[in-house]
Chain A
Amino acid sequence: MRWLNEGKLRVSYGDLGNQYGADGTAYSEWYPYQQVVTGVSTMPIGNVQTRGLAQTNLANPLLRWEKVNMLNLGVDFAFLNNRLSVTADWFNKRTIDIQLKVPQPDVLGLEVPDQNAGNVSNKGWEISLGWNDHIQDFTYGLTAQLSDVRNRVEDLGGAPPVLDNRIRQVGYPIDAFYGYRTDGLAQEADFTKDATTGALTPKFAIFDADLGKVAPGDLKYRDLNGDGKITADKDREVIGNAFPRYTYSLRGNMGWKNIDFSFFLQGVGKGNGYVGSIGIHTFQAYGSYPQEVHRDHWTPENTDAWYPRFTFLDTRNTTARQSDYWLQNAAYLRLKNIQIGYTLPSRWLSKARIQRLRAYVSADNLLTKTKFFYAYDPETVTTSGGEYPQIKTVVFGINVNFK
């Protein structure tokens, strides 16, 4: 076949053991299978520093490795004199007996151990297209890649779901964002005003605990079950997924005579993130200072504000009450690297006993297009601030090879 230069069909299957839990770290205890007593702090007895011994963690003598089995189907093709290459993969990675700390009712009285409690699957595919060619002196190549993974909790070993700001529930991605739905900021029209006292009564459902505190400029939480009030047990649902979907990249290189040029674009098509605490809020805690963006907070004159009204030491409107209002869109496109170089003709250099001299300019993270909260990196999807950001660098360089 003249049009086909290469054709390959790949099938692989592997069964592996893994001692790193779902959170990617090894055991938090050194001997998770063994009941031990360890030193604990206590009250000074007899007017001297006193230590005690106690069991603090429950042991799990049945703890085993996680098993990972992975099925991969793939094809590699090269067409048109190897100018076009295509690689496609489909995989199904199943982690069985995954090590999780399954929360227990706290009457148990100890920290719970890791348990082999459940299965998680990662199904996905990956396509890569490459094109390499030249037009006389001009050589160029492009490689595009697109992949997607879907993470799903298949089984929790019969344990009840963990319902916190990140949930573990069968049928959802592991540690999906869980929280309230919102309907934007409350306006004065959302309240009825008592003609005599001037007291405002919200027309929308609120938390029972917030009675008397809700005012225009506060977040309006949505009453999902329609019982007229917002409650933590009945008005929350899965609002986002921390796993990036549709990761893609495009790599290109070109050369003409002594000039070379390359770039690398990467990005995520769909994903969620969460910037919390002092990363995005102000005045909700001591030492939480306003940022430039907080100028756009709700006031009676600025009713279409991004940020709710200012309150002090009050977390009712913040990410402490996790809601879709603060959910970040973590999709992005980033020019990860771009480089241009010039190699001096060798005839100019031979007298200096130089084999090759290339001067170049290279830049990392030059451009990022994203709707993620301004100061933070969409590659770090959850943060409370305090992360060192991705830095933009521009490098001017010379490579010299001596003879």
Chain B
Amino acid sequence: MHRPYILFGILVILASSIAGCTKDFLNRSALDAITSEQFWKTEAQLKLAVNGCYDYLKGKNVVDMENLGDNTIYPPLSDYLNISTGNYDFTLGTLNSEWVNQYKGIRRCNHFLENYKKAQGIKDATMNQYAGEVRFLRAFLYSYLSFFFGDVPLVTNTLNIGDEQVYGPRTPRATVVDFILQQLDSAAVELPVSYGAADLGRITKGAALGWKSRVALFYGRYDVAEAAAKAVMDLNQYQLYSNGNTATSYNELFTQKGKLAGGANKETMLARLYLLNVSMHNMSREAQVPDQTARFNPTKSLVDAYLCTDGMPVEKSPLYNEAAQTAYGDVFKNRDPRMQQTILTPGARWGGKDDGDADANPADIYNLPKFNSDKKGCVTATGYYFTKYVDIAAVATYNKDPNDIHIMRYAEVLLNYAEAREMQGKLTQADLDISINLLRDRVGMHHMIISELNNWGMDLREEIRRERRIELALEGQRYFDLLRWKKGALLAQDVKGMKKAFIPDYMQPYVAAVPVDAGGYMIINSNRRFADPKNYLWPIPLTQVQRNIDLGQNPGWE
């Protein structure tokens, strides 16, 4: 008797609950994330959005890019080595990952710049600072894109599936560069000169100006580069790092003593900060890894580039007589003090355990290069190791190096200034004395004196370029410098190492298969090529060409 009533009741409940369902019933708001509608409202949100953009500031990757040039080599295959040798094509993974990563960062920046003004009641100075930081980062990402690929799609707004721009063509490189420089100008106006400790690492006005000088120099806009560099110098905000000792100051900058958080470093203008147990890399270990081959092996080309203490190159200086050299250590004698602060010199401390001496015991002091892979010490491919960017304590650990990666230093701005002046034919001795000679004073090196160079038959432009190579070795700039100097042919040359005869007899069996050149120097890598204009740009990655045929291809890569 009761049953029909129960059934009826259930039906009523069901019917009313169905009727209660509005159309939005199934469209639930995310519970584990913030929806776009809830975002872009408060200062705290904006700050978090700005912070998110910093994820795309390049880090250790900057140093790895040194493998693109002729200062260092890691012979087993790597994408950077392949690009350096010229033996690669548009399927190479790094091409696509660089493309994808820069555009991911650009999208994040565009998203911010499109929306940040929706927030209300925030101080103008704060709004400007946030916009300046993000604007800089976007320009930074476009700089690398245009350095690598030339023409690239210039996307300055957020895109959606179906937008025509997604399948758009590439924008001419000059237009992209104009955009970058203009954005850096805006950022320089918007950004503060410095920050309090809580904001350590944020982009500053100086960084925007300094980066502008680098980009302008790359594209031969020397007047712009000069003015931007001079503007940094006139900020009086930066000075070269020194601990008072010419024998260690330069090297120390790239150790934990030079970390921005320590406060002693007033030279670094832009860095990827690292923090122990939070964010770390593997740089020190890779330079002197105690049971494998070092990932960074200085080349003969770099070793030969260091001047002698008298300011003359090894080919000219009476302090250097190649024919009279009898031992490995002779190569390091009477050289620019930056050499032994960059390249590991016999007698120096190292973290690579067993070196190439007769025994197989770990040693704290380095004497000879090791070529036998017995897992007891760090093996070198060229006969040389780096000491720059090496923190000996971090060599023994894996991925626990908290040292900052210095993306731009005041030293570079001084070099940019000198080079930009020289390229315009305006360089004077006074210019050198407020730029390059400051770098030389830090390490106690003979000054660069124009009249002296003339007397010695040395080319001023070449010497400024040499100075840049020496000062910025292992900082990821060499490849880009070679490109803008149109010196790609240097990359086609064989990569060489030390003189084979300097290797002791007991170590000789391990280099028996390594060929030597006419002078007896080991040839580490050959069969390289560099075609002009082809290799001055990377090819557009296969993945991107397949997805958008209108991107076209760079010359020589079709």
Name A's B-contacting residues (CB within 8 A).
30-31, 33-38, 40-55, 58, 60, 103-110, 112-113, 115, 160, 163, 207-213, 231-233, 312-315
* B29 CB contacts on chain A under 8 angstroms: 31, 34
Given contacts A43-B279, A49-B278, A209-B91, 7 further A-B contacts (CB under 8 A): A31-B28, A36-B35, A47-B275, A51-B48, A107-B153, A113-B161, A314-B77
B39 CB to closest chain A CB (Å) equals 5
Which has the most chain B C-beta neighbours within 10 Å: A46, A106, A113? A106
Contact among B45, B104, B200 for A45, CB-based, below 8 A: B200
Tell me, yes or no, whether B548 is within 8 Å of chain A by CB: yes
Whether the Cβ atoms of B49 and A37 lie closer than 8 Å is: yes
* A209 CB contacts on chain B under 8 angstroms: 82, 87-89, 91-92
Whether the Cβ atoms of A211 and B104 lie closer than 8 Å is: no
* B105 CB contacts on chain A under 8 angstroms: 109
In the bound assembly, the distance between CA atoms of A107 and B197 in angstroms comes to 36
In the bound assembly, the distance between CA atoms of A50 and B57 in angstroms comes to 14
With contacts A48-B275, A108-B107 taken as known, whether A30 is within 8 angstroms of B99 at the C-beta atoms is no
User: 4 nearest interchain CB pairs?
Assistant: A109-B107, A52-B52, A212-B527, A54-B52
Tell me, yes or no, whether B544 is within 8 Å of chain A by CB: yes
* A106 CB contacts on chain B under 8 angstroms: 96, 99-100, 103-104, 543-544, 547
Whether the Cβ atoms of B527 and A109 lie closer than 8 Å is: no
Tell me, yes or no, whether B546 is within 8 Å of chain A by CB: yes
With contacts A36-B30, A37-B34 taken as known, whether A108 is within 8 angstroms of B77 at the C-beta atoms is no
Tell me, yes or no, whether B53 is within 8 Å of chain A by CB: yes
With contacts A105-B166, A107-B153, A109-B106 taken as known, whether A208 is within 8 angstroms of B89 at the C-beta atoms is yes
Whether the Cβ atoms of B91 and A232 lie closer than 8 Å is: yes
In the bound assembly, the distance between CA atoms of A50 and B55 in angstroms comes to 10
With contacts A54-B52, A58-B161, A106-B544 taken as known, whether A46 is within 8 angstroms of B89 at the C-beta atoms is no
* B57 CB contacts on chain A under 8 angstroms: 43
Contact among A35, A54, A112, A210 for B87, CB-based, below 8 A: A210
B484 CB to closest chain A CB (Å) equals 25
In B535-549, the 8 Å CB interface with A consists of: 542-548
Contact among A41, A44, A110 for B201, CB-based, below 8 A: A44
In the bound assembly, the distance between CA atoms of A42 and B55 in angstroms comes to 4
Whether the Cβ atoms of A44 and B279 lie closer than 8 Å is: yes
With contacts A35-B36, A313-B76 taken as known, whether A52 is within 8 angstroms of B48 at the C-beta atoms is yes
Tell me, yes or no, whether B111 is within 8 Å of chain A by CB: yes
Task: Identify 30 residue pairs between A and B in the complex whose beta-carbon atoms are under 8 Å apart, listed by A's number.
Answer: A34-B27, A37-B35, A38-B33, A38-B34, A42-B53, A42-B55, A43-B57, A44-B275, A50-B51, A53-B51, A54-B49, A58-B161, A105-B166, A105-B544, A106-B104, A107-B155, A107-B165, A107-B168, A108-B159, A109-B158, A109-B159, A207-B89, A209-B88, A211-B527, A232-B89, A232-B90, A232-B542, A233-B545, A233-B546, A313-B77
Tell me, yes or no, whether B459 is within 8 Å of chain A by CB: no
In the bound assembly, the distance between CA atoms of A53 and B50 in angstroms comes to 8
B27 CB to closest chain A CB (Å) equals 7
* A112 CB contacts on chain B under 8 angstroms: 161
A234 CB to closest chain B CB (Å) equals 11
In the bound assembly, the distance between CA atoms of A83 and B551 in angstroms comes to 68
Whether the Cβ atoms of B89 and A231 lie closer than 8 Å is: yes
A230 CB to closest chain B CB (Å) equals 9
In the bound assembly, the distance between CA atoms of A213 and B32 in angstroms comes to 52
Whether the Cβ atoms of B52 and A40 lie closer than 8 Å is: yes
B43 CB to closest chain A CB (Å) equals 13
Tell me, yes or no, whether B139 is within 8 Å of chain A by CB: no
In the bound assembly, the distance between CA atoms of A220 and B197 in angstroms comes to 60
Whether the Cβ atoms of A37 and B36 lie closer than 8 Å is: yes
Whether the Cβ atoms of B200 and A42 lie closer than 8 Å is: no
Interface string of B7-44 (1 = CB under 8 A from A): 00000000000000000000111101111100100000
In the bound assembly, the distance between CA atoms of A312 and B153 in angstroms comes to 38
The residue of chain A having its C-beta at the shortest distance from the C-beta of B160 within the complex is A58
* B406 CB contacts on chain A under 8 angstroms: none
The residue of chain B having its C-beta at the shortest distance from the C-beta of A113 within the complex is B161
In the bound assembly, the distance between CA atoms of A52 and B50 in angstroms comes to 7
In the bound assembly, the distance between CA atoms of A34 and B26 in angstroms comes to 12
Whether the Cβ atoms of B55 and A43 lie closer than 8 Å is: yes
In B73-116, the 8 Å CB interface with A consists of: 76-77, 82, 87-92, 96, 99-100, 103-108, 110-111
* B76 CB contacts on chain A under 8 angstroms: 312-313
* B135 CB contacts on chain A under 8 angstroms: none
In B151-177, the 8 Å CB interface with A consists of: 153, 155, 158-161, 165-168
Whether the Cβ atoms of B87 and A213 lie closer than 8 Å is: yes
Whether the Cβ atoms of B33 and A31 lie closer than 8 Å is: yes
In the bound assembly, the distance between CA atoms of A45 and B199 in angstroms comes to 6
The residue of chain B having its C-beta at the shortest distance from the C-beta of A43 within the complex is B54
In the bound assembly, the distance between CA atoms of A195 and B152 in angstroms comes to 46
Whether the Cβ atoms of B89 and A108 lie closer than 8 Å is: no
Contact among A30, A107, A163 for B166, CB-based, below 8 A: A107
The residue of chain A having its C-beta at the shortest distance from the C-beta of B45 within the complex is A53
With contacts A43-B279, A45-B273 taken as known, whether A211 is within 8 angstroms of B87 at the C-beta atoms is yes
Whether the Cβ atoms of B201 and A45 lie closer than 8 Å is: yes
Whether the Cβ atoms of A46 and B199 lie closer than 8 Å is: yes
Tell me, yes or no, whether B261 is within 8 Å of chain A by CB: yes
Tell me, yes or no, whether B212 is within 8 Å of chain A by CB: no
In the bound assembly, the distance between CA atoms of A210 and B88 in angstroms comes to 7
Whether the Cβ atoms of A53 and B199 lie closer than 8 Å is: no
Tell me, yes or no, whether B198 is within 8 Å of chain A by CB: yes
In the bound assembly, the distance between CA atoms of A41 and B48 in angstroms comes to 11
Tell me, yes or no, whether B388 is within 8 Å of chain A by CB: no
B226 CB to closest chain A CB (Å) equals 31
In the bound assembly, the distance between CA atoms of A36 and B103 in angstroms comes to 19
* A213 CB contacts on chain B under 8 angstroms: 87, 527
In the bound assembly, the distance between CA atoms of A106 and B104 in angstroms comes to 8
* B77 CB contacts on chain A under 8 angstroms: 313-315
Whether the Cβ atoms of B30 and A30 lie closer than 8 Å is: yes
* A233 CB contacts on chain B under 8 angstroms: 542, 545-546
Whether the Cβ atoms of B547 and A105 lie closer than 8 Å is: yes
